Chain A
């Protein structure tokens, strides 16, 4: 098949706060909670992507709270998808634009096609469609905004809810003191493990806006499917004061609960790695969803985080090569 120039956009990195693109593509006027992490997340992603973008919004907080009552805050084209099928709907949109360009109906540029799916819509009920998209080499960026629950339906557990979190499906009680007994899925690892068409996967948080926007732009500049996992703290669901939304994301990184990295063509690159990790209890104490935990539960969480930290340390390449002895040289 002949190579066709689909005029994919190449987006330059944002060098400083002052150089952040001014126009809002996710405009004020939405029903998200005051201090909503995912809303800030959406705003930053939309800013980075720019006006030649189409968003796919599966059901979740970023559908119901954003698009309430026939109003939406998207200045670019957007379509609702079922919570089950965002990856598939995005695939269809991408295919339609490919044919439209081949037939001369659309001059270009090729749109940035971005899925903004919650954790459920990414790795639970939406997992099948997400995987299909990653496998089929569509030029789509799939973003999982992770508020670690099915928040919109009243904070039920999802596969990314941390161990020990209280949700309305994992309430702590006499029989089950920790509330949630299961440890979470690792979304980027699900993608990295077995999808050969994917060349770029990254994690970020709303507390690192330049990092977030630059990773989005880098992903959008790839010619195939890409995946991003973004921590978007939820004051209502995690039960913390709404002004601390960004602080929670920072603490997640500082305690090792969340790591910032890029995976590109098989190589991991970590950033913002703390020189000394804070104990995970500092992350958990301000959050009401962990208030019921006993020291033994927090210790279990620390052990889980220590394992994650170990993986980070092992993945970072050694700074200087090991010297070769003179005899072998």
Chain B
């Protein structure tokens, strides 16, 4: 055959568009920072520490693990970055220690993220 046959060329995927091999990603360590859902909420739970009995029901009711019991300080800590404002904790608290307060009341309320999600 006199003429040279066409080749397949190359397939050049830009580095920023590459997908991990076999779509396998490493596991997150303790939070998945690429998905901070704090900008979903319109209210946040505010704790009255005097009323809190450290019953841990809020800790076991949150789908997003946003209540953590700090053993050394003996206090419940709220995780700002991931709370979606579902209010399950407020509903479930047996000692009415939690109230829903609008996000806009807070200086760091209505968190804006760089990327759409």
Assess whether A72 is in contact with B27, with CB atoms less than 8 Å apart: yes
List B residues 5-45 near A (Cβ within 8 Å): 19-20, 23, 25, 27-37, 40-41
> Is B76's beta carbon under 8 Å from chain A?
no
Chain B 67-99 against A: per-residue CB contact (8 Å), 1 yes, 0 no? 000000000000101101111101110000000
Q: Assuming the A-B contacts A70-B25, A71-B25, are A20 and B56 also in contact, with contact meaning beta carbons closer than 8 angstroms in the complex?
A: yes
CA distance A18 to B57 in the complex (A): 10
**B62: which A residues are within 8 A, CB to CB?**
40, 43
List B residues 40-66 near A (Cβ within 8 Å): 40-41, 55-57, 59-66
In this complex, the interface size class of chain B, counting residues with CB under 8 Å from chain A, is 35 or more
Assess whether A35 is in contact with B86, with CB atoms less than 8 Å apart: yes
- Of A68, A73, A247, most buried by chain B (CB within 10 Å of CB) is A73
Stretch at the interface among A24-32, A129-137, A177-185: A24-32
> Is B117's beta carbon under 8 Å from chain A?
yes
- Return A310 CB to nearest CB of chain B, in Å: 32
Chain A 34-46 against B: per-residue CB contact (8 Å), 1 yes, 0 no? 1111011001100
- Return A116 CB to nearest CB of chain B, in Å: 14
Assess whether A43 is in contact with B65, with CB atoms less than 8 Å apart: yes
CA distance A292 to B12 in the complex (A): 56
Assess whether B25 is in contact with A72, with CB atoms less than 8 Å apart: yes
Assess whether A209 is in contact with B60, with CB atoms less than 8 Å apart: yes
Assess whether B31 is in contact with A27, with CB atoms less than 8 Å apart: yes
Assess whether A34 is in contact with B85, with CB atoms less than 8 Å apart: yes
Assess whether B64 is in contact with A246, with CB atoms less than 8 Å apart: no
Assess whether A28 is in contact with B27, with CB atoms less than 8 Å apart: no
Stretch at the interface among A74-82, A191-199, A312-320: A74-82
Assess whether B86 is in contact with A43, with CB atoms less than 8 Å apart: no
Nearest chain B residue, comparing its CB with the CB of A74: B27
Assess whether B88 is in contact with A245, with CB atoms less than 8 Å apart: yes
Q: Assuming the A-B contacts A69-B117, A246-B91, are A31 and B20 also in contact, with contact meaning beta carbons closer than 8 angstroms in the complex?
A: no
- Return B33 CB to nearest CB of chain A, in Å: 6
**A29: which B residues are within 8 A, CB to CB?**
28, 31-37, 82
Nearest chain B residue, comparing its CB with the CB of A247: B91
Q: Assuming the A-B contacts A34-B40, A75-B29, are A28 and B60 also in contact, with contact meaning beta carbons closer than 8 angstroms in the complex?
A: no
Supply 23 A–B pairs (Cβ within 8 Å), ascending by A.
A20-B56, A20-B59, A27-B31, A28-B79, A28-B82, A29-B32, A29-B82, A30-B32, A30-B35, A31-B37, A34-B84, A34-B85, A35-B88, A36-B63, A37-B63, A43-B62, A43-B65, A44-B60, A68-B117, A71-B32, A71-B35, A73-B28, A78-B27
Chain A 63-102 against B: per-residue CB contact (8 Å), 1 yes, 0 no? 0000011111111111000000000000000000000000
Partner of A28 from the list B20, B31, B55 (CB cut-off 8 Å) is: B31
Assess whether B86 is in contact with A242, with CB atoms less than 8 Å apart: yes
CA distance A33 to B85 in the complex (A): 10
CA distance A39 to B88 in the complex (A): 13
**B40: which A residues are within 8 A, CB to CB?**
34
CA distance A316 to B37 in the complex (A): 45
Partner of A246 from the list B33, B79, B88 (CB cut-off 8 Å) is: B88
Assess whether B31 is in contact with A242, with CB atoms less than 8 Å apart: no
Q: Assuming the A-B contacts A242-B86, A243-B88, A243-B90, are A35 and B63 also in contact, with contact meaning beta carbons closer than 8 angstroms in the complex?
A: yes
Assess whether B87 is in contact with A243, with CB atoms less than 8 Å apart: yes
**A34: which B residues are within 8 A, CB to CB?**
40-41, 84-86
> Is A11's beta carbon under 8 Å from chain B?
no
- Return A241 CB to nearest CB of chain B, in Å: 8
> Is A17's beta carbon under 8 Å from chain B?
yes
Assess whether A28 is in contact with B64, with CB atoms less than 8 Å apart: yes
CA distance A23 to B27 in the complex (A): 14
Assess whether B63 is in contact with A39, with CB atoms less than 8 Å apart: yes
CA distance A32 to B27 in the complex (A): 18
Assess whether A243 is in contact with B32, with CB atoms less than 8 Å apart: no
- Return A83 CB to nearest CB of chain B, in Å: 17
CA distance A246 to B91 in the complex (A): 9
- Return B31 CB to nearest CB of chain A, in Å: 5
- Return A237 CB to nearest CB of chain B, in Å: 15
